[in-house]
Structure 1
């Protein structure tokens, strides 16, 4: 969980309702223990004795029931172990199992002075299949790939699914580089054979990065990181191939790869902060809402705000963490600000990793209820790019609308707008992309296109928000065109929650 120096984290590292839940869970075992101590405690033996007394005409019933109870306990224990250590989709060992096994293998190799190999691989072309044929087809493809991986490795080798289309293979007691090459070649050959998924021919391939203990690292973290870096080089060497880390270590690692690693570290260290950009009513000039975003002060990305590193975030394992944190932060501060202005609203970006969770409506219902916020008081932002790339998002948006949530389509203009798909959605806001606006408004013809887009939205009762507004003249021009709201440096750059709250309390029309 990201920890920040903000009111969200002052009282606890968890949100208030989570803290209450944890507190109740902490207290419950103690109460139970006290109760059990008073009445002598529970045991299967006592239950058997009570049943034996009740069914005194059957001398062996307690043994039968005891065996049934033990069988149920054993079955439940196995089920809990399976859920904790195996991937529900492919039934392969999961990330937790892999991490534990790798740690044990490192210790064993240290003690016995043996060697082993780690193969890190992902699927070339998987995203296209997932987006084109849908998530069900993607899941079926992953199950087929898992079976082929198992058939390609040796008996005793461990194949794990880390998540998404990422897999790892542990080759224990391997000193022969040619043996590792042979396994890698079999994996590439098997995975790259055509598939028949939902009556469609599907072709993908795989690339592999390889690290070896102790040559490429003496800790589990080093081995995984180096295999990942070798995978990156492999994918950019033509794909459908493999690379050993020791052979590519001197090659230049992608700046993007380095940035992704820095992003992981920033999330873990709490170096990402929540900031708010005021949203202005172009008619009254007053603040009517705020758009929350994340700010990462990383010199190499230039602009520090979320939109400029969202693609990296979506490709990383930190997407859900940031997405859930932004949602909680937006709801928390909205709860505080509505004490001063009950009409204020907050727009919250919904990151891909967040909306892709199962039963998003239930999750949001619980979060909103815990803060006392109504669905109609928040704008949930989804980008045009996500809508274009993920067919499943249409169903999610319709489910949210049915549940009473307000939907904003953001970054309009940055990606192609499919009007046929928009006709199937119920949108409340369109947020025009800043860069697109600046370039389009530079010509008279471009201005006519913006005007036409705004008028189309207005005819559908959809509010249009202009972003990146830098001057009063621009604000007036957008107002004449029919934009209802705007945000940008003309009023304020994104500010922290404390400064925005001060402005709301003072009921100023703009931030000084």
Structure 2
């Protein structure tokens, strides 16, 4: 190589060394640092001079064990390569997480040994995941476990009850006279009261018990290690006494009480939802007895059968008599309108009860051989439909839902291969499995192996369904070899009125993108849902606004008449324009605020949540967006400050309008609403002319014509 080429090569390497986004650290054979780049200095807070000549343990956090480092060096010695996650410490003492890749290499000229380390700072990703976990599993107001975490705790409690042969009480608690507190003193006082109630309940329970806010002023309590009815009711008596003591909230002395209905496992058996319903039914009867009461559910009544054998027999008979069928729900690209595939959803055409949905029969067969038999029937039916589509030259994929129990079945892969062998012409790259993250993926290593072999041996892809509801979302997305994730429909449905759910949806989309995974939104029930999802960067969706699940024989007719909504079409051209989509997101949030008020003033509705969710400035959709956008630096600081002031004025007027409505001064509120629309127009025009420099039609279509 000529001297000129050598010089050019050195210059190129120096340029790469200085410009790459990863930190670079080089150590010699004695593990002494000989070189670092500027990015590593930025990550650690140390200067180059402070690091060179030191050992890498200057960055050690103490969070990794000696065994961890022993395995690292063993891998470097044997394979000359190691990659993993490490927690280290910056110069200022703060911790940071990194993905560290180490290559062991030798200088070809001198023969000297070096270690080249590449460092990617993933601290923000870790923090983002922790926030996502918190939002997904804890109630924002009381910090109690929400329904998602309750489901996980319920499964653990049932397993413990079975293992120890102890009783488990499932209690449904409702506050007496809570509504007058909200009506007379306002929702802020009501919220403070709920927080105090939650703290009192927690203080009365044992360490292994669980209390969850189920909704409004309703709580579900799991009491384990119950020995007899007397012990259980003694605890409930103390709890109702504690909750009936007066509450001092602000300047108000408040008196409420609580009533409880409860049922006991294993005397009463079924899914979590079934047992909660039994407790809720009993609560209603308890309230008929008076306030501050509790009552136990009596098994064998209200149509409940202690013996499931008749129901299991009916399901088995239905499978033999071809009473089950698959309905299909389309998945589309909201940018192009292309139908990319269908999710197959099982239905039972019961000869006496009519069409039954999965939740009405699948819980009965959980963990049984009948669950595997029904799962194999679904696989076979889906492959049959896929073969018919491919023969008709339709390139749609089909996805089916499989339980973790079925995937973990010892003979799953063998049986799958036998079924596939009956469909030799089917192109299996259009076949997908969906596994619920909310299911108990206890043996993750087994599931990982099955999913990987399905991909490698059969070309079958796997989608992680209900993403965000599981207890270890980041672990699942990093460990399971999935091709896509589906955002749980509960979050999507509520995102228009619940800021926390909106954050979760946006977080899941960002997390999926960081792992280069396709993301699909379930539960898209309005055009506005689609607009917001597209602005967040989610292209694929399914939901009622597109189509409800339908029999297979209706697919072709639906597919021929389906047309992409006009409100979604323009996103095809702006999807890669980050600034446009983010500004558009703000405008959509702004429209939601005005629309919720317009609906409220149009009719006397019960949209309390929709109204009250926009009262807090910082917790409103637009308020959260403005705070995040300031960190992203997408907008000129001066323009952003003006936009903040305009929104602050808009929000103040909106709050005043709500208060006028609540005070019964509807006409005054309507006058405010007209002023609010003018301020909306002013912000809209400011965004167009000063921030995007676009013609007015380019942003969201204003359905009110303002």
Scaled by the length of structure 2, the TM-score of the pair is 0.35
Scaled by the length of structure 1, the TM-score of the pair is 0.47
- Rg (Cα) greater in structure: 2
Choose between structure 1 and 2 for higher RCO, CA contacts under 8 A separated by at least 6 residues: 1
